[in-house]
Amino acid sequence: MRDSTWIGIDFGTSGCRVCAIDKSANIIAQTEQSFPASSKSYPSPQQQSQFLFNTLKTLLSQLSELDIDSISIDATSGSVMLCDFDGHPLSEMLMYNDQQAIEASEDIAKLAPAESAANGPSCGLAKLVYLQRSLALPANYFLLHQADWLAIQLGAKPGFTDYNNALKSGFDVTNNCWPDWLSALTPLHVLPQVVTPSTVIGELSTSVIKTLGLKQSTPPLIKAGTTDSLAAFIATGANKIGDAVTSLGSTLVLKLVCQNPVFDAKRGIYSHKLGNHWLCGGASNSGGVVLRHYFSDEQLVALSQKIDLQMPVEDYYPLLKPGERFPIADQDFPPRMHPRPAEDQQFLYGLLSGIARIEKAGYECLQQLSKTPLTSIRSVGGGAKNAVWTQLRQSLIDVSFKPVEHTDAAYGSALLAKDGLKLFQ
């Protein structure tokens, strides 16, 4: 009897990554294909399908002696398109960063609860309304998220989505339904049936099995996926109430596994459902973008090594321009990065300390709103490699700082294919 493998597919902002794991959740093969750097636009739905098959074929060439049990796909949040009941495209895909649906988002704001994650032109609901107003459409069609489209290419049934991707399209994840107020904006029958991530939504079609050259007797199952950010969170190993992940990238992003959902539109806080738990989070306008404004990557490494953590430090609030969203909601909140010391390492010390204090305040905010004590932090992003910054953060936030198990969203999707959300029970 041949051993089984589970495959996770990640369609992110820069390419397609695929990961295969064994029954012990160890990675046994992985590969990726980046989108062309010369391209000014994200690949079309048809091009995405080609990337999907090419990357899968490359991975499967390493798995000739294994049977695929199931596959799950994550993709960018808020990327949507329309298709007919057979899964054929009726529109282009409006991507996660598309801002065309401004008028539609203004109409949504008049109807949607303030705490809804479907507010704003980049959300899936605004794009759905925009497409409906722009196109001549048949009576029957479906809204698709990017992960749904890709799953259909493998053989999944049209008309299904997961509750993480559905959130920005207006789905009420607290009450597990499409809310009534949506009917003033869109026919409700075009909205997909929402299922829990990892629910079986089909199996690899005969034509796909032939295209991929699979030899196994039982077709692999296709399981509902999630968003790319949720898959990356699942990969970290954070899954207990009180576990948190700090992303030290261009912006400072905090996520906390909690008992209760939290929605605070002013501060941009909303919650994703993960099994029996919730994942609440917020993002500051501060972060690595401020550091890179003043220093190159090489300078950041060299200057960090010169910082003396015993020295007094300025009380900075690092922002490139006025306006903060989390943990302070104030569109006029001023940057505070003066006085600037003569020594660059002392200035960097102030910036790193300022961002660390924002992280502390952010977790205090999330704990207060969710009524969930913080118990551990895992760190991802480029800043997580900075040992001095880690020391600073640990001196301010008195919880366990744990290593990240994995950072690749494709690995999180592979876990979803294998175990579902049982770790979040």
Do 344 and 253 reside in the same domain of the chain?
A: yes
Do residue 333 and residue 270 come from a single domain? yes
Same domain, 133 and 72: yes
Instruction: Give the model's confidence band at 60: pLDDT under 50 very low, under 70 low, under 90 confident, else very high.
Output: very high
Residue 246 has pLDDT above 70, yes or no: yes
259 in the same domain as 183 = no
256 and 126 in one domain? no
pLDDT band at 285 (very low <50, low <70, confident <90, very high): very high
Shared-domain flag, residues 197 and 259: no
**179 in the same domain as 43:** yes
Decide if pLDDT at 38 tops 80: no
368 and 281 fall within a common domain:
yes
**Shared-domain flag, residues 161 and 52:** yes
Percent of all residues in the chain with a pLDDT value above 90, rounded to a whole number = 92
Mean pLDDT to the nearest integer, 307-330: 95
Mean of pLDDT over the chain: 96
CATH of the domain at 350: 3.30.420.40
Q: What average pLDDT does range 219-233 have in this prediction?
A: 97
d(CA 359, CA 136) in angstroms, rounded, equals 48
Instruction: State how many domains the chain has.
Output: 2
Model pTM?
A: 0.93
Residues 79, 202 share a domain: yes
The per-residue pLDDT for 1 is 66
In terms of residue numbers, what domain contains 343? Answer: 238-404
Of the pLDDT bands very low, low, confident and very high (cuts 50, 70, 90), residue 195 is very high
Both 195 and 344 in one domain: the answer is no
Q: What pLDDT is stored for residue 37 in this prediction?
A: 79
Instruction: Say whether both 246 and 188 belong to one domain.
Output: no
Q: Which of 106-115, 231-240, 264-273, 400-409 has the lowest mean pLDDT?
A: 264-273
